[in-house]
Structure formats: C-alpha cells, structure tokens
Structure 1
Amino acid sequence: MSAPLTEEKVAHDKSPDSGSNTPSFSDESIDNPTGISEKALLRKLDYKLLPGLTLLYLLSFLDRSNIGNARLEGLTDDLHITGNQYLFTLTVYFIGYVLFEIPCNIVLKRTTPKLWLPTLMLAWGVVATLMGLCHNLGGFIAARFFLGVTESGLFPGVVFYLSMWYKRTETHYRVALFFSAASLAGAFGGILAFGIGKMKGVAGLAGWRWIFILEGILTVIVALTAYLFIHNYPSTAPFLTEPERTLIHARLAHDTDATNDEKFAWSNVRAALADYKCWMYGFGFHTMSLPLYTLSLFLPTIIKELGYKAAEAQLLTVPPYAVATILTLLVAVASEKTKKRAPFILASTSLAIIGYIILLTAPRSKPGVSYVGTIFAAAGIYPSTAIVLSWPAANVSGQSKRATATAMTITIGNLGAVLGTQLYRPKTSPRWYLGHGFALGYLVFNLINTAALWGLLERENRGKRVRIEQGERSEGGIVSDEDVRFLFQT
C-alpha cells in the first residue's frame, strides 16, 4: 500500500473543484526529490514502450482482417467456400478469441510481459502464415480458430500492462495511440493487398495465398525481435535509471495500485465478476465491436458492391481508415486534456450513426454518397472504441481485478463481433440492410449505455467526495484508500 495520506492532503488533492482527480509533482504536498522532469520521463516512457506495442497490435489487426482483402483476390473461389461458409470462418475466429481472453490475462499476471506477449505473437504469426497454405474449408476454419486463440491475449494484456506504467489520467491517450494501429492496419492492408495481389502465379500460388504468407512471415520476424524490445515492469526495466525508477514508483503510488506487490488471488477475479461497472464497460465495447469488426472485415466487399473493381476497392479502403486514424488521435488528445471520457464517446458514436444512416438511405445510383457514409462510420467507430477500451484500466482498482476487468471488457465486447460476422449475408447485397441496420442499432445502444454509466460514475464520485470531506476513516486510521486514489474517470 502507499504511504498514508492525511485528511488535509486529501482535501487539497481531491477537492471537488480541482481540475484533475490525480495529483502531480507540481503539487507542493508531493515530494519529488529526484530532480527529474516528469514530462521528460513521460516522453522517455512513450518512446521506449509505445512504438513496439503499437507495431504488435498493427500486425495483429492486419492478420485478423486481411481475410477481407484475400476474399477479393479469389480466396472463396479457390477453396470453394460459399457465402455462408465464409461468414462462419469469420465467426470461428472470435469464438477462439472470446474463450481465451481471460485465461490469457491470468497467464500474463502469473508470468511476465517480456515472455508472454512475444510468445503470443510468434504463435499467431505461424498460424497466420499457415492460412495461406490451406487447401480446403476444414483446414481454413481450424486456422482461423487458432488465430483467434493466439491473438486473444494481446489487447487486454497490453491495456493492463500500460496501467502498470502510467497514471490513470495518462492511460487513455496511450491506449488510443496503441489502438490507432487498428485503423492504420486497415489502411496498410488495402495498399499491401493491392500490391501483393499482383504476385498471382508466383511459385504457382494465388495472390490471396501470398497475402497471408507474406504478412504472416512479417509477424514471425517481428515476434522474434520483440523478445528484445518488450520490457517487464518499472521495477526491472533496464532502460530506467534508479532515480527514474524512484520517480515512477512515487507518482504511481499517489494515483494507482501499480506499485503494490499484489499476488494473484481468485477472489480478485470474483470481485471483477461481481462489479456491475465491469459489466457495463464490457457492454460498452460490445456495442462498439459489432460495427468495428463488421466494417473492418467487410469494407472491401461493401465498397466493391458499390460498383468498383476489386483492385479499386482495395485502394478505396485506405481513405476511411486514414480519416479514422487522425480522428482517433485528435479525440484522444482532447479527452486527455479535458479528463473526460463519456462526452467524447457520445460525440464519436453519433458521427458513426450518421455514417450508417447515409449507407442505409443513399440512392443506389450515387455510390459516391454511400462511400462518404463509410468514411463517417469509420471516423466515429474508431475514436469511440479507443476510449471504451481504456475506461476500465483507468477506473478499476486492484491489479488482478483490473486485469480481469480488462479481459472481461474484450470478451463481452467480442461477443458482438461474433454476431456481426453473420450479418453481411450474400443475399442482402448490395444494400446490406441487415448488417448496416444492426450496426446502427448497436451504436444507439452504445449511446444509452455510455450515458447511463456516466451518470452512475458521477453519482459514486459524489458519494466518495462526501465521505472524504466528512473524514471517513478506514481501519488503518486514514481516509479509505479507495476514496483517495480512485475517483472514477468519467
């Protein structure tokens, strides 16, 4: 546990009128004996941690979504896969993903990030490569299932990992930077598929096979180097000096439980399962994952059915993802500066709703209007999803409970993706009323869930402030640790 805080200090740091819920080293009440600039330290952490983690997620999202690009290059024709069978290959990925997310985060807590994350990547890189060597539907379904299993631990693992390095108010921006790799993967995927598709016939292989093989081999190569650039936690990271390590531990001790030497306990897993807020975080991602994954998996097909050729459709997937990447970063910066989450989710989700309304109502004779709808949809979905995914990492206390809550969010969320993969059926082409309609409905439910969670968190914060002001004391004789350090981010 962190050092005891006096009531006067709590009142100073956690005043309801304060612009931030977390103290910084600019506060006179917190000593920074190291003489190190906090901003300089954050820049160093960002430089050492974020590029490598973002690269891992970029390749993860590329390897799971390139099936949409491969379809345009003849995947379904060569393997004699019908439209509904193709949808099942998308679904089975998320079955593996959902089943193994929480177990993977438990393994991460019981091992180390330096060992576990690169090993996961190496495994999914091998599976991704083997997808290019499949010769029948059964083999391809098996490969997709194990791709989901091996990729399941990366995102929840990294979100938990970042919470062990940064203060709660700093995690969203870093998670958003990390998640922006998803939209970058969409943009790169279209460009790569356009180029790799021209390798049709090389070594007697179809273009779609080369998409899986080359992108999978790239993942394997990066995984082998990741053992060198993925670090464990601040207490052992070799790139830190002892004064820097001291500063990191001191700033986290006043804001999170990241410095606690917490042993894994099943009671903390049960605590996450019993917390209604953890379920609402999960439902928040559930309502975003359906539109997120249906767009990423079906965008090449949606654009092609507007009347464009396959090669044109591959390239036209780039602008929606480029706009989404830019807005994800801009919204992350704004959310970080204002210390708000819910208002930005509501605004971004509303933008995506406009996009689907355009897709559902645009005249068939005007494909350009429908294409604009895809840009609006992507521009709203990705910023909202980035905030939703970082919310539990900022608000759930207890390391094992937070690791479980993060995995719960992804697990519950990806159940929406499981449903979404069955919605874009061939017989609904080219208007896709079923898929677009479900995506629109889910986004509306996201607005409702976000507004409700916002109100509930504000109500709990008001109760905590009252207890702090009244000097409520725990058994140790101080204001309770939960109240001091965990006013919820709203």
Structure 2
Amino acid sequence: MSTPPETEKVAVENPENEKVALENQGRSSAAPSFSDESLTNPTGINEKALVRKLDFKLLPPLTLLYLLSFLDRSNIGNAKLDGLTKDLKITGNQYLFALTIYFIGYVLFEIPCNIILKRTTPKLWLPTLMLVWGTVATLMGVSQSFGGFLAARFFLGVTESGLFPGVVFYLSMWYKRTESHYRVALFFSAASLAGAFGGIFAYGIGFMKGVGHYNGWRWIFILEGLLTVVIATLSYLFIHNYPSTAPFLTEPERAFVQARLKGTDANNTEPFAWSNVLAALKDYKCWLYGFGFHTMSLPLYTLSLFLPTIISELGYTAAQAQLLTVPPYAVATVLTVIVAILAEKTHRRSPFILASSSLAIIGYIILLTAPTEKPGVSYLGTIFAAAGIYPSCAIVLSWATANVSGQTKRATATAMTITIGNCGAVLGTQLYRPKTSPRFHLGHGFALGYLVANLVVTGTLWWSLKRENRLKEERRAGGEVHHEEAVTSDEDVRWIFQT
C-alpha cells in the first residue's frame, strides 16, 4: 500500500513522535514513512552502522579543531600566571581589555564567516581559518609590547569566529534533527577538554622557563599555536564537504544518507539569497536562541578565562592553580556527554537546560558565600559552576540548528546565536577586576544573575515553541497540508519545533 505524500512528510518532520503526528492526521500509525526500509533502504544498508561511520569520520577531526580553538583563546588565563602581564608591563585594566578585544573581533565576523562558508565549501574554508588563527596564536608568544599583543588577540577573534557556527551548520547537513544535539554536544565537549588539557599543558610548559631566553608564558602560546598550524595543514585531508560528494561513502550510502534527510532542506539546492538572511533576522525565535546563549556565554567565558586566577586567589601557588583547573573541566566534560545522551533519548531540550543552569547557580552561590578561610568550599563551587555551564551551552548552541529550516536562514540563525551570545562574553571580560579579588563579588554576581536570566529565556522559548507546535497541529487538523516534495521553511505546517 502506498503512503500519501503528506503522510510521509509529517512523519519525517516529527521523527521523535512519529505515531502521534500520524494520528493527528487521522491516519493509521502503521502507515509507512521515509524511515521504512522498503522506501529508503533497498540495498539493506545498516542504518546504525552507517551513522556510526559518519560519527567516526566527521566528529573526531571537528572536535580536535574546536579543542585547539578553545585552547588558543583561553590559554591567556594560564599565561597570566606564568608572567605575561609582568613581562609586557600590562596593567590589570589593560589585561581585561586584551580579553575584550578578542570577542569584538569574534562578534563582528561570525555572520560574514558563515555566509562565506555557504558560498564556498567546508573543506576549503574551515582548515584555512584554522591555519590563519594558529599563525596568529603563535605570534602572541613573540609579542614584545602590549600593542602587538592586543592586535594579535583581535585577529585571533576574527579568525576563530567562523569555526563554531560553521561546524554547527555543517553537521545539520549530515544528521537528522533529532540527532544533531548529541553531535554538537560531543563537539562542544572539546571546550571543557581544552580547559583540562590547558591546565596540564601550562603546568608542564611552565618548566620551560628560560629556554631560548623565553619565559614560560611565551612557550604556552608558541607551542600550542604551532600545534594548531600543523593540525590545520593536515585537516585539508580529513575535512569533507557534504554527503553527495563524500569520498568515504559508497554511492548507495550517499543515497541512503540523503534519503534519511528527506523532509528537511539538507538535500535542497539552495542558491544564496539575502532574503533568506533577512528571514532569520525577522524571526523572533532566532533572537531568543541568541539570548539563550547570551545568558550562558558570560558565565562560560568568565569561568574559562579567569578560572586559573580564581583558584590562585584562593591561596594556591601558580603551579597548583594550573593543575587544579583540571577537575572542574573533567567533571564538566562527563556531564556534557551524559546530558547530551539523555536529551537525545528524550527529545527534550528545555528541561535539561533548566536543570544544568540551576546546578551552575548553586556553584556561584557557593563562590559568593563560602568563608574565605575554607578555600576547599569555594573550589567546590567552581566544580558545580563548570558542571552546570557546559551542558547547558551545548544544548543552547544546537537548538537553532535543529529548529530553523532553509539552509541560508539556518546558517544565519546559527551565526546570530553565537554573535548575540558572545556580546555577553564581551561584558564578562571586564568584570573580574583585580581590586575585587579574592572574592570577585562583581564577576560572580553577574554570572549568577545571567544564569537566572537564562532560566527566564529558556522558559519563554519553551512556551513559545510549544504554542507554535499547537497552532500548526490545529492547522493540520483543519486540513491545511502542503504537497511539495521537500520542506523549505520552518513556517511549513509540517515542521515541528523541538522543545
């Protein structure tokens, strides 16, 4: 028995609850869909094995790129403990401005970088970005003045700005909507891994003080920057474009990957048009995704940039502080992956953001109230903060990708999310001022307030998406069904938003 076209499309666009979607259409839940082997898998390809193959080919190299990206942007916190500010005669306020200018470059160039990605190819664009930022990161290690160091930080922000939004969009061209969060979360877990590795590397590199007449902080930038350059050169070989041209897939596998994505826009040939960019800018939900990350980016970056300083101000030596940054990030990495698995299995996002952000709130309450004579209690607060921040960020950053349809609109919405979000990071870099140490009430207080605001934004977005899904359900029940072959917009009555 053949399936009516409209039945097939509803099933695809609500894969997490296919039966309900079919019943809402007044048809049997036994009706076949695009997921049926008879329709999409005539060659007997094992879908789970193929998805694992995609994961193995795509995720490790992309995660390595982001690990190095986050390492190169956050190692300034480790370098500070190893003599950066003393050698370059950088005052406390100048150091904060050096942190801020990175995010100015990052915010200004995120949307342009994603537009360039859409107009070129991932295989060319992503490794080239990495090669340039690795070179800039290395130059920070040989800077001889504050002005030179400042210029390098700005261009590091410019060149790193295209990686994360680009990769999030790129993954949406390979995986189903219900699969995207888990992959983005694994990719984002590299941020917490970078924090853990950064502490270990900084501790070891600190013993290179005097080698080549360079202080330890210079070697942190030089060695980690050169590592990025080497990996970038190799990445031209292992970054692929899209399923239709992937050399590691057979022709039947390419066809099957594309069949899995039917009902989405991943298989469409969509020429670039500014009207699609404008569509993202006009959609209030795209702004809410951005504010969702905005309320997380300030806690995220203040913690990653200032954690070595926060720990050292608790009374630990510089070397001890470098090593003590590892446990918070290790816990954050594990929880990010666990929460990603749970979110994928339950097809829910909002509840996990609310729970994770609440855990981070507990951490900052501890940091603000713990007695100064008990540094171990405050240190526990950093673990709670990291353990809550990173899982929430991973979900927020993948939300727009799963819910926005139209390739250019989605690429723009993804860049908007991170652009709006990183405006919070710009503010955060000015909050941990030397005169507020060792308690850092100003910085911790802002982070706490932002996390509470995240609960409000997430709750608002949850309610809005459920409302739009309900309205679409009413329209479908009223007989409004589209018969086009593919969904080209999230305004389509068949498009179900993930909440």
The TM-score normalised by the length of structure 1 is 0.96
Counterpart among 311, 314, 324 of residue 303 in structure 1: 311
Task: Look up the SS of the partner of 1:135 in the other structure.
Answer: coil
Give how far 1:33 is off.
1.5
Give how far 1:320 is off.
0.1
Give how far 1:478 is off.
11
Counterpart among 356, 363, 370 of residue 362 in structure 1: 370
Give how far 1:481 is off.
6.9
Please give the alpha-carbon distance, in whole angstroms, between the structure 2 residues aligned to 1:250 and 1:484. Answer: 21
Counterpart among 61, 83, 88 of residue 74 in structure 1: 83
* Partner AA of 2:5 in structure 1: T
Give how far 1:32 is off.
2.2
Query: CA 1:477 to 1:425, structure 2 compared with 1: closer, same or farther past 3 Å?
Result: closer
Task: Look up the SS of the partner of 1:253 in the other structure.
Answer: coil
Does the alignment pair 1:121 with 2:130?
Answer: yes
2:119 is matched with: 110
1:39-438 maps to which residues of 2 (within 5 A)? 39-254=48-263, 256-438=264-446
* Partner AA of 1:259 in structure 2: N
Please give the alpha-carbon distance, in whole angstroms, between the structure 1 residues aligned to 2:39 and 2:21. Answer: 15
Does the alignment pair 1:440 with 2:448?
Answer: yes
Query: CA 1:28 to 1:428, structure 2 compared with 1: closer, same or farther past 3 Å?
Result: same
Query: CA 1:480 to 1:379, structure 2 compared with 1: closer, same or farther past 3 Å?
Result: closer
Identity %: 77
Unmatched runs of 5 consecutive residues or more in structure 2: 23-31
Query: CA 1:457 to 1:98, structure 2 compared with 1: closer, same or farther past 3 Å?
Result: same
8 Å CA contact retained: 1:473, 1:480: no
Task: Look up the SS of the partner of 1:277 in the other structure.
Answer: helix
* Partner AA of 2:141 in structure 1: G
Please give the alpha-carbon distance, in whole angstroms, between the structure 2 residues aligned to 1:309 and 1:102. Answer: 41
Q: Deviations over 1:324-363 (max 9, x none)?
A: 0000000000000000000000000000000000000000
8 Å CA contact retained: 2:40, 2:260: no
* Partner AA of 1:360 in structure 2: L
Please give the alpha-carbon distance, in whole angstroms, between the structure 2 residues aligned to 1:364 and 1:426. Answer: 17
Query: CA 1:476 to 1:94, structure 2 compared with 1: closer, same or farther past 3 Å?
Result: closer
Give how far 1:8 is off.
4.1
8 Å CA contact retained: 2:289, 2:399: yes
* Partner AA of 1:223 in structure 2: A
- Structure 1 residues 310-319 or 27-36, which shifts more? 27-36
Query: CA 1:253 to 1:386, structure 2 compared with 1: closer, same or farther past 3 Å?
Result: same
* Partner AA of 1:416 in structure 2: G
Q: Deviations over 1:251-305 (max 9, x none)?
A: 1013x20000000000000000000000000000000000000000000000000
Query: CA 1:459 to 1:273, structure 2 compared with 1: closer, same or farther past 3 Å?
Result: same
Please give the alpha-carbon distance, in whole angstroms, between the structure 2 residues aligned to 1:15 and 1:181. Answer: 28
Please give the alpha-carbon distance, in whole angstroms, between the structure 1 residues aligned to 2:166 and 2:413. Answer: 11
Query: CA 1:54 to 1:475, structure 2 compared with 1: closer, same or farther past 3 Å?
Result: closer
Give the aligned CA root-mean-square deviation in angstroms: 2.1
Alignment size in residue pairs: 487
* Partner AA of 1:302 in structure 2: I
- Structure 1 residues 411-420 or 472-481, which shifts more? 472-481
Please give the alpha-carbon distance, in whole angstroms, between the structure 1 residues aligned to 2:362 and 2:136. Answer: 38
* Partner AA of 1:308 in structure 2: Y
The TM-score normalised by the length of structure 2 is 0.94
1:468 is matched with: 476
Unmatched runs of 5 consecutive residues or more in structure 1: none
Query: CA 1:262 to 1:223, structure 2 compared with 1: closer, same or farther past 3 Å?
Result: same
Q: Deviations over 1:20-44 (max 9, x none)?
A: 8799765478442231011011000
Give how far 1:454 is off.
0.3
Task: Look up the SS of the partner of 2:243 in the other structure.
Answer: coil
Give how far 1:463 is off.
1.0
Please give the alpha-carbon distance, in whole angstroms, between the structure 1 residues aligned to 2:378 and 2:333. Answer: 20
Query: CA 1:87 to 1:200, structure 2 compared with 1: closer, same or farther past 3 Å?
Result: same
8 Å CA contact retained: 1:282, 1:412: yes
8 Å CA contact retained: 1:159, 1:390: yes
Give how far 1:466 is off.
1.6
